[in-house]
Structure 1
Amino acid sequence: MELKFTRSLLGALALSTALIAASPSLAAGKLTVSLSQDPGSWDPVDTFLVAWATVATNIFDGLTYRGPDLKLVPGLAESWQVSEDGKKITFKLRQNVKFHDGEPFNADAVKFTFDRLLGDEGSKGPQKSNYAAIEKVEVVDPSTVDFILKSPDPVLLTKLAGYGAMIVPPNYIKEKGEDYFNTHPVGTGAFKFISYEPKIGVKLEANPDYWGGAPKISELDYKFITEPATAVAELQAGRVDIVVPPIIPISMVPTIKGDSRLELMSVPGPTVDALRFNTRDGITADVRVRKAIIMAVDRKTIVDAILAGQASEIVSFQSSLSLGYDPDLKGLPFDPEGAKKLLAEAGVKPGAPLQIDIRGNDATMNEVAQAVSSYLQAVGLNPTIKPYELNVLLNDIIPQGKTGALFQQKWGGWTFDYDNTAYSMYHSGEKWNPYEKDAELDKLLESQRPMTDAAEREKVLKQIAAYVNDKALELPLYNSNAIYGVNKRVKNFTPAPDNRIKLNEVTVD
């Protein structure tokens, strides 16, 4: 009897294995991804961080979606229609979609999401102003919503594909509370949240009922690794499958290229780096000093020697792919003697101290900052470099206006539209603009948002870039490629220029 039972059990196991192998809806395999930063909250309204989007693109969906090819396609909305005056957008929603907790996705969920984003909860985070054109969302029927706009927003459909516009579950948030949702997110995406350990990682599992088709892997594990050398070592050891930008320093590119088990994937992206100025305090409150600092730094040599072809120079704080980029805009030239004259005019004494604040885990910027420091010493300044833990710099030092004379700003520019960068960087009262209050610049920034004529709006965006260039609000450095390190066992992976990698089609050997 016992032998018969064993054979029966083995037969059942064999049948079960065969069924799993034959089923296209059951995923298999685990993918491990290294991120350089813990976003700290998984609520879409709480963050502007690229690291958040890298993970959350797999948990949440927006009404629209923009993939690695940068084309805008339907997401949770099957279609949309914009009124002639641009002040109303009607969305037809997908039906029979559910949140991970089983709650139905419908028009009420869309309204709740945007009422929340534009209300008190959204006011606590950095996302609300990005969607300020929305006056209200009206439910037409369970699968139709109208977005009523205060004024047209030509970038809104793209903004609906990411960050604050991700659709969230009303009942879950009401029942569990805001704090719980921060650390236990629920969306409609291809992967479900399993667990989150602050500064350690986050674990997801496949959502077999995903409206876009069940993922082809069963587990998705993100590890927060802040040290570049550690991230690359974990990739080489096979404990990490993908290292996501921007952590891989240029100096480690040959290491990855030289490992036969690994592949380096580098794509032009929207990410730009600058050293922005404290325009309120100290010697950099003087525009002549700011211009002198820009003129003292040979940015071309930095790009050529340190960045080794993985970046290009910028004049304004945007990439060449951005709407508003002006190829004819001329930056200040490399002119050390001219820099010395401006410093003398401004009354800056030789040896004047200057603090440069950078991200402590950005090895590439550390090298760049060392080069900048050398150039500034050559014109008589005495710079020091102060590295910060990333979350401290982004959540405290910059927003609270506690920086040194210069501070690193890395910006994803994920909409590929200068408005998304410029409004956040230069408009009075914005989180990333702790120092500058300029009514004329505010007026320019506000004037282009309602414009429906792309050519006319582009003219104003170029005016903004020229205005910022003239006021020398930052030392523009470079537009860097998005550099991924990938284990060759990973198949069907497409590197995204904006780091928003959706992983439902990826497989692992």
Structure 2
Amino acid sequence: MIKKQGLRTAIMALAVAGGAFMASPAWAAGTMTISSPQDPGSWDPVDTFLVNWASVATNIYDGLTYRGPDTKLVPGLATSWETLDDGKRIRFKLREGVKFHDGEPFNAEAVKFTFDRLMGPEGSKGPQKSNYASIDHVEVIDDNTVDFHLKQPDPVLLTKLAGYGAMIVPPKYIAEHGEDYFNTHPVGTGPFKFVSYEPKVGIKLEKFDGFWGDKAKLDHLNYRFISEPSTAVAELQAGRVDLVIPPTIPIGMIPTIKGDPNLDVVTSPSPTVYALRFNTKNGITKDVKVRKALIYGVDRQAIIDSILGGEASPIASFQGKLSFGYDPSMKPLPYDPAKAKELLKEAGVQPGAPVQIDIRGNDATFNEVVQAVASYLQIVGINATIKPYETNVLLNDIIPKGKTGAMFQQSWGGWTLDFDNTAYFMYHTGEKWNPYDSDPKMDEMLESQRAITDRAKREEILRNIANYAADRALEMPLYNLNAIFGISKRVKNFTPAPDSRLRLNEVSVD
């Protein structure tokens, strides 16, 4: 259990830092308070790729389609769709009578505006545009009908329309207030509407009575950005937080939460995978022999057993079993320190050679994992040092700009449950998450599968991509981690989403 003095100190510190976001206790009638480990910095759908954005914004925005915790794709703002012209055109019938939170009507013009914006200069500033590159243009047929004209068939597009950059935004509101204002004052058509946002502290939402679907049972959602896991758990124990969302809960704190009669731990199979990716351009990890040596040198199964408490499974590629493209025949490279030493010697690496591993500083569980990785590497003659960064700095500056050490943490949600959503961003030349590598063969495979509608053929290519990435040792695959939620028992009807995109209109609190 967390000591009372530490708990009191954590709560007092948050009270000073949190301001208005501490004013109402979590147990206020009709209010649910949620701890999220990261402030995305912008609430504009085109600006983000972060799961912690989606865990909030899924309540603010709608897409044309929707995928809930059961992973089934159902109508959202589109009531139906049909594929035409051999997959190069999709016609959507739109839901009538829907309004944005500011009263602006949702219609075909709003859909066209959303995707013109996503595929234009504004979308080019963010990380989402390439995910929708198959879209050529959107044509308005009438107020309630749009045609998506595609450059080529896209077998994953309907799923992509359920999240992130495809969330429908209000044209008149953005034109009137401007892009910068929209970043911090979001407006959508979802079950909750924006109230206030304090950077680095939290965001507040309230029930939207004009929502087109099932009205929210809660009156207010109060999200607090708490990066320190022990503080988040302390706040959960104190009753100031009702839900702590992934990836906050350290495995070691699960018994503490389960031991509290007012709390529980809920887990769900998740697409989220963890790896240590390699700098393939500079230093000793430029050599594939060295990269494979480092993989051979780490007993990843032992790390899963000793640190992750059975809440993870080993992976051979940068995807889990939920991913389309997962190859069950692939096996992780075994733990073989003798082989690691042999390869390092062949590559001319001297004993004691240094490598730097860059990680997110607030991820307590991964910090333990990487400490173990460093210890294993020490055994095979590599002196690994760990450099923690504030999450936004690592993700927005260090990795995309190619300023990492030899290895760097990459966790990825793979929310489309399709390996394309991971592999294209990680391996294609010029992508934000691929600052070092450029491989024409890989690029050709990645591009070719995007236009194939034959599931078997496409799956074969995705599996080939996974095997090719493993053969080149582009990362050290670590594990597929369950989604772990800490929750107050006053919360009712909560269903954990595998991808942590939580829509909370059906949730209530005692």
Q: Describe the superposition over 1:303-329 as per-residue Cα deviations: whole angstroms up to 9, x where unpaired.
A: 111101100000000011100000101
Q: For 1:135-284, list aligned pairs within 5 A.
A: 135-284=136-285
What's the counterpart of residue 11 of structure 1?
Answer: none
Distance 1:170 1:84 in 2: 29
The 3-state SS of whatever aligns with 1:322 is: coil
**Cα shift at 1:266:** 0.5
**Equivalent residues of 2:279, 2:286 under 8 A apart:** yes
Q: Describe the superposition over 1:386-444 as per-residue Cα deviations: whole angstroms up to 9, x where unpaired.
A: 11100000000000000000000000000010000000000000000000000110000
What's the counterpart of residue 423 of structure 1?
Answer: 424
The AA in structure 1 aligned to 2:355 is L
**Cα shift at 1:28:** 5.9
What's the counterpart of residue 9 of structure 1?
Answer: none
**Cα shift at 1:330:** 2.6
The 3-state SS of whatever aligns with 1:247 is: coil
The AA in structure 1 aligned to 2:234 is A
Distance 2:299 2:84 in 1: 49
Distance 1:172 1:184 in 2: 10
**Equivalent residues of 1:28, 1:216 under 8 A apart:** no
What's the counterpart of residue 326 of structure 2?
Answer: 325
The 3-state SS of whatever aligns with 1:265 is: strand
Distance 1:114 1:310 in 2: 39
The AA in structure 2 aligned to 1:443 is E
The AA in structure 2 aligned to 1:484 is F
The AA in structure 2 aligned to 1:398 is I
What's the counterpart of residue 51 of structure 2?
Answer: 50
**Cα shift at 1:331:** 2.7
> Relative to 1, partners in 2 of residues 1:285 and 1:241: Cα closer, same or farther, differing over 3 Å?
same
**Cα shift at 1:34:** 0.4
Distance 1:84 1:312 in 2: 42
Q: Describe the superposition over 1:219-241 as per-residue Cα deviations: whole angstroms up to 9, x where unpaired.
A: 10000000000000000100000
Distance 1:83 1:327 in 2: 34
What's the counterpart of residue 367 of structure 2?
Answer: 366
The AA in structure 1 aligned to 2:452 is M
User: Normalising to structure 1: TM-score of the pair?
Assistant: 0.94
What's the counterpart of residue 91 of structure 1?
Answer: 92
Distance 1:63 1:362 in 2: 34
**Cα shift at 1:38:** 0.2
What's the counterpart of residue 22 of structure 2?
Answer: none
Distance 2:308 2:91 in 1: 46
**Equivalent residues of 2:314, 2:332 under 8 A apart:** no
* More deviation, 462-471/210-219: 210-219
Distance 1:221 1:46 in 2: 22
The AA in structure 1 aligned to 2:122 is E
The AA in structure 2 aligned to 1:76 is L
Distance 1:258 1:154 in 2: 46
**Cα shift at 1:189:** 0.5
Distance 1:84 1:314 in 2: 39
Q: Describe the superposition over 1:96-131 as per-residue Cα deviations: whole angstroms up to 9, x where unpaired.
A: 100000000000000000000000000000000000
**Equivalent residues of 1:34, 1:240 under 8 A apart:** yes
Distance 1:485 1:225 in 2: 14
The AA in structure 2 aligned to 1:202 is I
Distance 2:349 2:446 in 1: 33
**Equivalent residues of 1:66, 1:158 under 8 A apart:** yes
The AA in structure 1 aligned to 2:403 is K
User: Normalising to structure 2: TM-score of the pair?
Assistant: 0.94
The AA in structure 1 aligned to 2:345 is A
**Cα shift at 1:378:** 0.1
**Equivalent residues of 1:448, 1:460 under 8 A apart:** yes
**Equivalent residues of 2:319, 2:480 under 8 A apart:** yes
Identity of aligned residues (%): 72
Q: Describe the superposition over 1:224-266 as per-residue Cα deviations: whole angstroms up to 9, x where unpaired.
A: 0000000000001000000000110101011111111001001
What's the counterpart of residue 127 of structure 2?
Answer: 126
* More deviation, 84-93/147-156: 84-93
Distance 1:329 1:508 in 2: 45
**Cα shift at 1:214:** 1.8
The AA in structure 2 aligned to 1:494 is T
The AA in structure 1 aligned to 2:279 is N
Q: For 1:74-113, list aligned pairs within 5 A.
A: 74-83=75-84, 85-113=86-114
**Equivalent residues of 2:442, 2:465 under 8 A apart:** yes
CA RMSD, 1 decimal: 0.8
Is 1:436–2:427 an aligned residue pair? no
**Equivalent residues of 1:250, 1:306 under 8 A apart:** yes
What's the counterpart of residue 32 of structure 1?
Answer: 33
The AA in structure 1 aligned to 2:374 is S
Distance 1:321 1:84 in 2: 31
**Cα shift at 1:332:** 1.7
Q: Describe the superposition over 1:170-217 as per-residue Cα deviations: whole angstroms up to 9, x where unpaired.
A: 000011000000000000010010110000000000001100132111
Q: For 1:295-334, list aligned pairs within 5 A.
A: 295-334=296-335
Q: For 1:333-372, list aligned pairs within 5 A.
A: 333-372=334-373
Q: Which runs of 4+ in 1 moved over 2 A?
A: none
Q: Describe the superposition over 1:133-170 as per-residue Cα deviations: whole angstroms up to 9, x where unpaired.
A: 00000000000000000000000000000000000000
Distance 1:167 1:420 in 2: 20
Distance 1:330 1:256 in 2: 35
Distance 1:327 1:222 in 2: 39
**Equivalent residues of 2:64, 2:76 under 8 A apart:** yes
Distance 1:219 1:350 in 2: 58
- Unaligned 5+ runs, structure 2: 1-27
Is 1:473–2:495 an aligned residue pair? no
**Equivalent residues of 2:296, 2:334 under 8 A apart:** yes
**Equivalent residues of 1:263, 1:487 under 8 A apart:** yes
The AA in structure 2 aligned to 1:186 is V
Distance 1:443 1:462 in 2: 14
In the comparison of the two structures, how many residue pairs are matched? Answer: 483
